[in-house]
Amino acid sequence: MRYCSRTHVGKMRRKNEDTVYADGRLFAVADGMGGHHGGEVASARAVKIVADSVRAAPDGSNTGRLLSGAIISANEDVFAKARSGSGPAGMGTTLTAGVLTGDTLTIGHVGDSRAYLFRDGTLTQLTRDHSLVGELLRSGQLTPEQAFDHPNRNVLTQALGTTEEVSADVTTHKLVAGDKVLLCSDGLTTMVRDGEIAGILSGAGDAGELCARLVDAANVAGGADNISVVLLDLAEPDAFEVHESSSFDPPQARPKGRARAALLAVLATGLVVGLAVGIGYYMASNTYYLGFSGDRVAIFRGLPGSFGGLSYSQPIEVTSTTRAQLTPNSQRRVGENLVVGDLDMVTAAIGDLELAAPPPTVIPSLPATTTRPPL
């Protein structure tokens, strides 16, 4: 496993308010905002608090819960400092943090920095932008191309340290050898399109060289904002210690004649299908998520969505909480199956769902937004 982290002020800003971190277990990008050094203070505080929490956690801790708790602590810290006058007022930060445990990556995320998975030549965004443009994109009101250079793309619907409470997305992802994971601030993604990022990640070079090329690409495109990238490269054959023992011996005898070859092909196909179903079942049986069963919040066992036409999930517990009782943000978290993890983590997350106060009797106001200062 190789990794790198790199941050650059860009070509338009006078100072860099981003913070990056990578130590082989924790990987993080935070993009701070707020005048009078507020941005640097907020992003550095958030990353430090999360790094301290991860370092202090005993072995075998529930990583999803650990990250959720660390993000809540970081939010309280930055919010209290901004409000008490012991830190710059109005400061806040995004935070996208990944913890690698064996071959499992757990991501905690608030804001519009991003995590991507690059696997088999395809770049997939693992996080959802907590931004107005992100919401419009998800609801189909904008195309990705319209979103890319939308004038209001700096309006965040959620940031760390700007409100008393924050609702982080926590997701888990199984990685395989050959994967690359990229965390980055919007200084990369507002300058460089996903296709170009994928092109860079598919190129030759070690993690450090790829990080440098990503930053260069953003600067060549204008470098309008601070640019931060953290790259985790699992290209090595020994990407995960846990996978080292799973090697097959090559067949001893060569197949003779067509019949034998055909028989082997049938056997091999059966083995591959069996393995795929087995792996899918294994992942599904150890994964839980929140969703709606009818109109009620429920815990599902399995993986959200369907894979190869097969759905691997079923509700195992239906709560008494209805969709209408949740705030819009919590409705989204449940409706879009954003809470995914093991049973402990998902059960704990039910308690974190925000219930709307008595049914609204007035037209609800727009969700609070945080606007970054224009360039």
Query: Considering beta carbons, is residue 64 or 223 the nearer one to Mn ion?
Result: 223
Q: Which of 49, 186, 232, 297 binds Mn ion (CB under 5 A)?
A: 186
31 is an interface residue for Mn ion by CB under 5 A: yes
Q: What does DSSP assign to residue 247?
A: -
Of the listed pieces 179-187, 206-214, 235-243, 340-348, which binds Mn ion according to CB under 5 A? 179-187
In the complex with Mn ion, the residue whose CB is nearer, 77 or 112, is 112
| Site for Mn ion contains 233 (CB under 5 A) | no
Containing H/E element for 81? helix 63-84
Toward Mn ion, which CB reaches closer, 185 or 313? 185
Segment contacting Mn ion by CB under 5 A, of 24-32, 85-93, 279-287, 317-325: 24-32
Instruction: State how far the Cα of 338 lies from the Cα of 353, in Å rounded to an integer.
Output: 12
How many residues belong to the site for Mn ion (CB under 5 A)?
5
Non-local (6+) Cβ contacts of 361 within 8 A are none
Question: Residue 179 or residue 186: which is nearer to Mn ion going by CB?
Answer: 186
Integer Cα distance of 366 and 162 in angstroms = 16
The span from the CA of 3 to the CA of 59, in Å, is: 22
Contact 91, 41 (CB under 8 A): yes
Q: Which is nearer to Mn ion, 93 or 331 (CB)?
A: 93
Beta-ladder partners of 2 = 233
Residue 112 touches Mn ion, criterion: CB under 5 A: no
Q: Give the dihedral sign, CA 339/30/8/1.
A: negative
Distance CA 65, CA 342 (A): 10
Q: Tell the smallest beta-carbon distance from residue 372 to Mn ion (Å).
A: 7
Q: How far is the CB of 20 from Mn ion (least distance, A)?
A: 12
Which tokens sit at 154? 């700096």
Window 203 to 232, contacts with Mn ion (CB under 5 A) = 225
Kindly list the residues in this chain that would bind Mn ion in the complex (CB under 5 A): 31, 185-187, 225
